[in-house]
Amino acid sequence: MKYKSLVFLMIIALAIPQFGMSRKGQYDEEARQAEKEAKQARKLKNPATGIASGVKEVAYDGTKGFLSDTANETREDPLLVGTLEGARKGSGKILDSTVKGAVKVATLGQGDLKEYEVIEPESGSDEVTAIKIKIPGT
């Protein structure tokens, strides 16, 4: 009986270092790479998550930024001046979130917009404000 338990303990003692070494080296790197590729493939298969992210950015993030900027400026400055200044700052966040969210929706969540250009019409002209967007990868 003691002999069997001694052999069992020796087998376990020799097996423990093998389990620890199995996570090192090339196997570990290959497994990590395979996990990254599988995660990217899942993102590409489900464009609805990218669209939802873009819609959230358009509808929620821009409004949240606008309201928080307006409230902060109103609290810090006189009522009318603070409200107008906060609205001015917040409207930039609405524009930014709307454009970036629209790009996410249009690219099914695969494109992130780094920068865009707003072209203001000359005063007195009938033209509208234009936004030039360069979608990465196009």
Domains in the chain: boundaries? 36-110
pLDDT at 75: 81
Full-model pTM:
0.53
pLDDT at 64: 81
- The pLDDT value recorded for residue 25 is 55
d(CA 115, CA 132): 9
Kindly give the parts of the chain with pLDDT less than 50: none
Distance CA 66, CA 26 (A): 50
Distances (CA, A) of 5 to 8, 12, 61, 125: 5, 10, 64, 94
pLDDT of the residue at 44: 63
DSSP label at residue 23: T
Predicted local confidence at residue 6, as pLDDT:
73
Give the separation between CA 50 and CA 36, rounded to whole angstroms.
Answer: 18
**What pLDDT shows up at residue 26?**
56
